[in-house]
Chains A and B, each alone.
Chain A
Amino acid sequence: MATKADILKYLEEVKDPEIPAIAIEDLGVIRDVQINDKKVHVQISPTYSGCPAMDMMEVEIKATLQEKGFEPTVELVLYPAWTTDWITEKGRAALEKYGVAAPLGESADKRALLGEAQLVKCINCGSKNTQMVSQFGSTACKALFKCNDCYEPFDYFKCLK
């Protein structure tokens, strides 16, 4: 019988459809896996309520496990609610490499988004001389920033707690 570690290993293949550089496991979306012989039950937490990627993730989890010969079911669990704290170190590194600034802690995030302090590092040159353009970016989870030194516009993954 497969172990939870085996299943999680298989699920490393499933990426966030909107940020394909990051595995949903590193995004902290997978909450639990229960295994009963060939039957595998995966619990996932949505990042944002309206995130259109959630349905896609469910489809891909099922397809990945079916391919390995399992009979998967996926359940959406709302509580405890997902937080950006669940993004792993590996996930944060993958985000930054992809060009999305990783979330700051709660109070730093608030100060950055209110324009009270320059805390978000430019993804291109590393300068902290950056400025928020919009609290809401290309997807629900991101805000739009720009660098005042190299002028690069970039996404910042907002803190959600």
Chain B
Amino acid sequence: MEQKIYDYLLQLGDNSMILGHRLSELCAHGPSLETDIALTNISLDLFGQVRHYFQYAAKLGVAGKTEDDIAFLRYAHEYKNCLLVEQPNTDFAYVIVRQFFYDLYHLHLLQDLTESQDKQISAVAHKSLKEVKYHSRFSSQWMKRLGDGTAVSHEKTQAAVDYLQPYTAELFEMTPVEAELQEAGIAADLMAIKDRWQHDVMELLKEATITYPTNEFSHSGGKKGVHTEHLGYILSDLQYMQRAYPEMSW
């Protein structure tokens, strides 16, 4: 059981870590000072949440790994984040749409996890939920502003939605470990979350005058460790210090 909880913690943490890294790339590159600070603050919240997951995973002791080992010393196929969060910061519309899709998923996920039978997972969820409410408010407002803004911002937002929507189905795929932990009341029921997510996304897109794509095609693989090419570049950045100077610390 501990091994399964360990795997689940890494999966939860990896989504936040990779998205947090993507947002951190915008530090000093945001379209305006305020959005720059907002996106990097969100990044910081996500990294803080990752630390809670990885510290707990390290404490379980199943793999004999420290928090830093887990974060920095795995190979690409060992990261189990969804493909959505590793997609690049193509333009501001992509950044916001990716964030919007993920924030609403994250919000419902954490709401479910506050009820987890695992006390520590429930505690992290309670803590993180308060922060993610602010994230989803930020990205939802920007969705409306961009979608219902100028002709150019509308067009770019629609393009980002069309491109990123096929990556959202994977958020709701249950791995065998998740299914088993959900039976035990520890993991979230992603099928139930999907309906709530879909409802919220549709409502907001309507306000933002954006059309939800009707295609059935979807990408997946990240949760099994099969990633897009982007993850390799992220890891070469993220792991540089630990690979170049093994076991270095502050």
Contact = CB atoms under 8 A, between A and B. Distances in A.
A35 to B, nearest CB: 25
B125 to A, nearest CB: 9
A45 B182 CA distance: 28
Interface of A is mostly: loop
Interface in B45-69: 45-49, 51-52
A133 B49 CA distance: 26
A50 B138 CA distance: 18
Interface in B5-41: 34-35, 37-38, 41
B134 interface: yes
B126 interface: yes
Given A78-B124, A78-B126, A79-B126, A49 B34 contact: no
B38 A134 contact: yes
Nearest to B41: A136
B77 interface: no
Nearest to B250: A55
B127 interface: yes
Interface in B113-139: 119-120, 122-124, 126-128, 130-131, 134, 137-138
Given A49-B131, A78-B126, A79-B126, A135 B49 contact: no
A136 B122 contact: no
A137 B131 CA distance: 14
B45 A49 contact: yes
Contacts of A161: 130
Interface centre among B38, B41, B120 (most CB of A within 10 A): B41
Given A78-B124, A81-B126, A48 B48 contact: yes
B38 A78 contact: no
A10 B119 CA distance: 32
Contacts of A46: 48, 127
Given A49-B49, A140-B44, A158-B134, A134 B37 contact: yes
Contacts of A134: 34-35, 37-38
Contacts of A133: 34
Contact of B123 (A79, A114, A144): A79
B126 A50 contact: no
A74 B138 CA distance: 34
Contacts of A79: 119, 122-123, 126-127
B42 interface: yes
Contacts of A49: 45, 48-49, 51-52, 127-128, 131
A31 to B, nearest CB: 13
A160 interface: yes
Contacts of A144: 34, 37
Contacts of B127: 46, 49, 78-79, 81-82
B37 A81 contact: no
Interface in A80-109: 80-83
Given A49-B51, A78-B52, A144-B37, 10 more contacts: A50-B44, A50-B46, A78-B126, A79-B119, A80-B126, A82-B127, A83-B130, A134-B34, A136-B37, A139-B41
Interface of B: 34-35, 37-38, 41-42, 44-49, 51-52, 119-120, 122-124, 126-128, 130-131, 134, 137-138
26 contacts: A48-B44, A48-B45, A49-B51, A50-B46, A50-B47, A50-B49, A51-B48, A52-B44, A78-B123, A78-B127, A80-B126, A81-B123, A81-B127, A82-B127, A114-B137, A133-B34, A134-B37, A135-B138, A136-B134, A138-B37, A139-B41, A140-B131, A144-B34, A144-B37, A158-B134, A160-B130
Interface of A: 46, 48-52, 78-83, 113-114, 133-140, 144, 158, 160-161
